[in-house]
């Protein structure tokens, strides 16, 4: 398959990893931002192949993982209202709130539907004019354009029973917050290629200069990731701190201008609570005042509440790279994909789920083994 097979070439990957090992004169610390990158690095064994020259830290780049317990609690409360159909992406259903998940709410009578896109939620609103359709809008800059489009189409079609419960988050403020930490260990970033496809990477240039870190935009296939690591090592060894695009088949410096215009017209940056990391200044998006009629918090007069995560789950330390998942005492014991304590074990892109899948010995069924072979 074009743009996949050529980036999974095993001999080319082996040669590139050997080149990285030859180039590095010391062990460098690099953080990949996206959970998809985390899974790729572990699945293809890149982390182990480079363990003596690169320490890979896993960042907060999984929007499912950082969606606050408060947002989940609000979604649960709405789903239990008889007039509401709560819609969202399927990977949000098992994310724990302070007491319940959306799957728990559905089990006790809440109306929760998984959809593939916010436009599906809008279609549900058109099909059920007697019900209030709320879409729990999560994701980074990659999904914000589609929720902005849904709001604009709802306005154009005069759909009165559609609203968003927004929990969108922004990547760059999280990178800034990590670099400002007194105990920060990150010396370079692998930036998320899908985010940069939408938002571009020009704004990262100031971040590089201010904090003296290279930022390399990469994709998700093994050669993408190894090429990004090689570029980081090259810059660090040469004492350069620049933005470098190693995902040129998708990413342009300015990003997707049309998508950015949609987002800017509907949303504005705001301070936002990230699960495990606290309030992130300018770390989220909220609907602008002129679109407030589509804001579920405003429509249903949802108040704020103080929520706490399960104290057995050290998701904040995992998401900020302070520890690796196996260093959490609950990992693989009280916390497994079947019985997760926190979102990083629930999400398909969570770092805990990645470590459990690729680094934890546990029995595979014959079907699982065949699936692993197929991959």
> Distance between CA atoms of 310 and 207, rounded to whole angstroms?
33
Both tokens of 88, joined, read 């969202």
Dihedral sign, Cα of residue 215, residue 219, residue 356, residue 52: negative
What domains appear along the chain, each with residue ranges and CATH number?
A: 68-168+256-299 (3.40.50.11740), 315-374 (no CATH)
Q: Could you identify the residue written with the tokens 């892109």?
A: 349
The Cα-based distances of 277 to 274, 316, 320, 326, 344 in angstroms read 5, 5, 8, 19, 13
> Distance between CA atoms of 197 and 367, rounded to whole angstroms?
36
Residue by residue, DSSP assigns 101-157 as: -HHHHHHTT--EEE-SSHHHHHHHHHH-TTSEEEEEEEESTTTHHHHHHHHHHHHHT
List Cβ neighbours of 269 (8 Å cut-off, separation of 6 or more).
Answer: 170, 282, 284, 285
CA dihedral 20, 349, 216, 5 (to 10 degrees): 60
Both tokens of 4, joined, read 């996949």
Whether the model pTM is above 0.85 = yes
Per-residue pLDDT of the chain (375 residues; tens, 9 = 90+): 677 888 899 999 999 999 999 999 999 999 999 989 999 999 999 999 999 999 999 988 788 889 999 999 999 999 999 999 999 999 999 999 989 999 999 999 999 999 999 999 999 999 999 999 999 999 999 999 999 999 999 999 999 999 999 999 999 999 999 999 888 899 999 999 999 999 999 999 999 999 999 999 999 999 999 999 999 999 999 999 999 999 999 999 999 999 999 999 999 999 999 988 889 999 999 999 999 999 999 999 997 766 666 678 898 888 888 888 999 999 999 999 888 888 899 887 899 999 999 987 654 433 344 444 444
> Distance between CA atoms of 282 and 168, rounded to whole angstroms?
11
User: Taking a C-beta distance cutoff of 8 angstroms, is the pair 113, 85 a contact?
Assistant: yes
Element (H, E) at 265: helix 257-266
> Distance between CA atoms of 360 and 202, rounded to whole angstroms?
39
Within 152-209, strands assigned E span 162-168, 188-192
């Amino acid at each position: 398959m074009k743009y996949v097979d050529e980036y999974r070439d095993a001999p080319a990957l082996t040669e590139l990893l050997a080149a990285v090992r030859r180039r590095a004169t010391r062990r460098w610390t690099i953080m990949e931002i996206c959970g998809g990158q985390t899974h790729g690095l572990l699945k293809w064994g890149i982390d182990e192949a480079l363990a003596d020259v690169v320490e890979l830290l896993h960042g907060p780049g999984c929007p499912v993982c950082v969606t606050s317990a408060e947002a989940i609690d609000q979604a649960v409360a709405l789903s239990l209202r008889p007039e509401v159909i709560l819609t969202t992406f399927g990977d949000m259903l098992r994310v724990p709130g302070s007491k319940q998940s959306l799957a728990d709410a559905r089990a006790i009578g809440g109306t929760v539907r998984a959809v593939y896109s916010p436009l599906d939620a809008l279609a549900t609103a058109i099909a059920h004019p007697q019900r209030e359709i709320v879409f729990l809008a999560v994701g980074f800059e990659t999904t914000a354009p589609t929720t902005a489009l849904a709001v604009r189409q709802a306005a154009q079609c005069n759909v009165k029973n559609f609203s968003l419960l927004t929990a969108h988050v922004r990547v760059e403020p999280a990178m800034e917050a990590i670099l400002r930490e007194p105990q920060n260990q990150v010396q370079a970033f692998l930036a998320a290629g899908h985010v940069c496809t939408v938002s571009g990477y020009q704004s990262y240039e100031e971040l590089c200069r201010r904090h003296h870190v290279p930022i390399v935009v990469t994709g998700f296939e093994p050669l993408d990731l190894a090429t990004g690591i090689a570029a980081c090592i090259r810059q660090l060894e040469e004492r350069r701190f620049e933005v470098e695009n190693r995902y040129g088949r998708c990413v342009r410096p300015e990003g997707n201008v049309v998508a950015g215009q949609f987002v800017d017209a509907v949303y504005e940056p705001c301070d936002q609570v990230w699960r495990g990391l606290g309030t992130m200044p300018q770390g989220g998006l909220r609907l602008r005042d002129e679109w407030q009629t589509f804001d579920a918090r405003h429509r249903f007069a949802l108040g704020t509440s103080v929520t706490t995560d399960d104290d057995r789950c050290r998701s904040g330390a995992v998401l900020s790279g302070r520890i690796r998942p196996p260093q959490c005492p609950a990992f693989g014991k009280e916390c497994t994909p079947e019985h997760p304590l926190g979102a990083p074990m629930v999400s398909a892109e969570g770092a805990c789920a990645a470590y459990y899948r690729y680094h934890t010995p546990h029995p595979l069924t014959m079907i699982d083994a065949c699936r692993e072979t197929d991959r």
